[in-house]
């Protein structure tokens, strides 16, 4: 089981990459150094609650999402899809869901 620093770090990296942001750009948006973002992503530092909120804001996700663990056996693509959809408006998410349901039904 990972410690909270590792969980937060992996989540920051996953959401940052899904948004197409570099560590440098995320650092600018969160008003912190890019090296600190690197420390966070590697699980070497623990962000303050204020910083967690700023990072969540920059990544367009609720800060609590960055604290959540996922099952180790969860498919990596599913994790990336979840990160991509986080913070999006409900209408396009609903549309993508309906497309997925129709596609899965068509291949059965």
- The pLDDT tens digits of the residues spanning 73-106 come to 677 888 788 888 887 888 988 898 889 889 888 9
pTM: 0.74
Provide the domain count of the chain. 1
CATH code of the domain in which 28 resides: 1.10.260.40
State the chain's maximal CA–CA distance in angstroms: 50
- Residue 100's domain comprises 4-107
- Helices 4-18/76-85 angle, 10° precision: 70
């Amino acid at each position: 089981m990972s410690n909270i620093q590792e969980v937060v770090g992996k989540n920051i990296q996953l959401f940052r990459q899904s948004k197409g942001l570099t560590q440098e750009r995320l650092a600018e948006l969160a008003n912190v150094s890019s090296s600190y973002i690197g420390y966070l992503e590697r699980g070497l530092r623990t962000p303050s609650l204020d910083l967690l909120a700023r990072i969540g804001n920059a990544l367009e996700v609720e800060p609590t999402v960055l604290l959540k663990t996922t099952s180790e056996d969860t498919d990596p693509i599913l994790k990336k899809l979840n990160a991509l959809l986080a913070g999006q408006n409900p209408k396009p998410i609903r549309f993508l869901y309906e497309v997925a349901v129709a596609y899965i039904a068509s291949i059965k």
